[in-house]
Structure 1
Amino acid sequence: MSKPKNVWKIFFKDKKHGGHRCSSEEFLSLEAREKLFHLDGGKTLLDFGCGSAELLTYYALEYEQLVGVDFSPSMLEEASKRIEKKKCQNINLILADHETLWKNLDSSFDRITAAGVIQYLTFQEIDTFIFEASKYLNKDGKIVFFDILDSRLYPLWKIGVFSRDTNVFKILCKIGFEFRTMISASFKNRPKDILGFSHNPYTIEKIANKHGFKMTYVQSMYYEYKYHAIMRKT
């Protein structure tokens, strides 16, 4: 599995908002509540790929100290504004990607999380991320990856199977559109899907087990084609 170098950095360079289904505070509050349930405690938290801190500011209500990390300067600029507006004084922000993150840390955490980010990493990069993250995880800590594209369900979502008004004709049209998009992407040497890679949960589980973690996965409440991977040291 490969991707053009820095393609995701280019894509997110000027983005200012995360890819949530709805940007209303009501929806973000519900989404954060679900994620806090799976994070299940702890006092310190590292949020990799925090974006504009739409979820991070809700996490801040439950944690003593938080660090938000993103490789997009525009996202972190929006995150700073949101943090100031929400008066969250327990959040620090770091500009880094999955490779440079670790040398910027000077403490360990009870929870290390990432939401809607893992699909932009290859399996090898996920392997390295879990290995490095384990070094900065406190005793009884957890690594939780939220909203991973499910390779079994995501293709069905893309062709409209989960739509309210779906029918055979619409599904066939979307299949044709997706096929043309993939062919075009191949000729232009760009990603076949700008939303990233879809990952089978059992493959993620094998990687987690390799590094001494027991993993469980649960379906996302708000995205029918995504799942959460919850990892705890065995």
Structure 2
Amino acid sequence: MEVESRAKMEKTHTKPKNAWENFFKDKTHGGHRYSSEEFLAMEAREKLFHLDGGKTLLDFGCGSAELLTYYALEYEQLLGVDFSPSMLGEASKRIRERKCNNIDLILADHEILWENLDSTFDRITAAGVIQYLSFQEIDAFIAKASEHLNSDGKMVFFDILDPRLYPLWKLGVFAPNAGLLKALYRMSCDFQNSILAALKNRPRNIYGFTHNPYKIQKIANKHGFEMRYIQSMYYEYKYHAIMFRT
């Protein structure tokens, strides 16, 4: 496995950091529900089912490679991309430990990534990342990604926050001990966190923005993709967007 040197990474990533890049710059783990290998393996199996084959894969927002190293068992060559140096540092360690010699890593965001690519892929995916992009940025991402996707390839955005279900999750509706008092407590905590975030000029939380699946579908159709969406198996307030060319 060949990881680009830190100097080269930083050289290709000179654009000023946005709020999310600052938020994640020192993080070392993704936002998985559980960090156990047993859970990560189950989550990866679900995602591999929807990726459904191919030989080459680009994983945008790969984080610390918690899923990427499981994908490596099914693909010949993989490229992991993230805008957090600390995440990629952890990813590099995990890749070495698991001897995944078919994975390369690049430090880049959704804008400069495409400048560093000279190949195409059978699958382009992003898990728990699209909620940090605006609809305009998603539009641009799909347009650029389509230029690096093989003709029979597939693009899959995993775990997008569903605006119809996310508010219910925040209120604790899906929790085993759901109830009115629990909901009021969560509302109080969310309000306090919002105030603190505004005072410190940082994002409200790690989860990002909600995106209606029909709006994502409209963008996909605009760029020549059919799209279907399904609910995430392990996150009841998220959905997957699966795109393929018509």
| TM-score (ref. length: structure 1) | 0.94
- Equivalent in 208, 218, 227 of residue 230 of structure 2: 218
Which residue number in structure 1 is paired with residue 36 of structure 2?
24
Which residue number in structure 1 is paired with residue 142 of structure 2?
130
Which amino acid in structure 2 is aligned with residue 39 of structure 1? L
Aligned equivalents of 1:184 and 1:28: distance in 2?
32
- Equivalent in 127, 133, 152 of residue 164 of structure 2: 152
The C-alpha deviation readout for 1:191-234, integer Å capped at 9, x for no partner, is 34431001111111111111111000011010011110000011
- Residue 105 of structure 1 pairs with residue 117 of structure 2: yes
Aligned equivalents of 2:55 and 2:243: distance in 1?
17
- Residue 67 of structure 1 pairs with residue 76 of structure 2: no
Cα 1:75–1:183 change in 2 (3 A) is closer
Which residue number in structure 1 is paired with residue 23 of structure 2?
11
Aligned equivalents of 1:69 and 1:164: distance in 2?
36
Which residue number in structure 1 is paired with residue 101 of structure 2?
89
Aligned equivalents of 1:15 and 1:190: distance in 2?
15
Which residue number in structure 1 is paired with residue 190 of structure 2?
178
- Equivalent in 175, 195, 215 of residue 163 of structure 1: 175
Which amino acid in structure 2 is aligned with residue 60 of structure 1? A
Matches within 5 A, 1:191-210: 191-210=203-222
Q: CA deviation at 1:178?
A: 2.4
Aligned equivalents of 1:74 and 1:190: distance in 2?
19
The C-alpha deviation readout for 1:66-110, integer Å capped at 9, x for no partner, is 000001111111111111111111111001000010011110000
Which amino acid in structure 2 is aligned with residue 223 of structure 1? Y
Cα 1:184–1:74 change in 2 (3 A) is closer
Cα 1:226–1:54 change in 2 (3 A) is same
5+ long unaligned stretches in structure 2? 1-16
Q: What SS does the aligned partner of 1:227 have?
A: strand
5+ long unaligned stretches in structure 1? none
Which residue number in structure 2 is paired with residue 47 of structure 1?
59
| TM-score (ref. length: structure 2) | 0.90
* CA RMSD across the alignment: 1.5
- Return 129-138 or 187-196, whichever deviates more: 187-196
Which amino acid in structure 1 is aligned with residue 104 of structure 2? N
Paired residues in the alignment total: 231
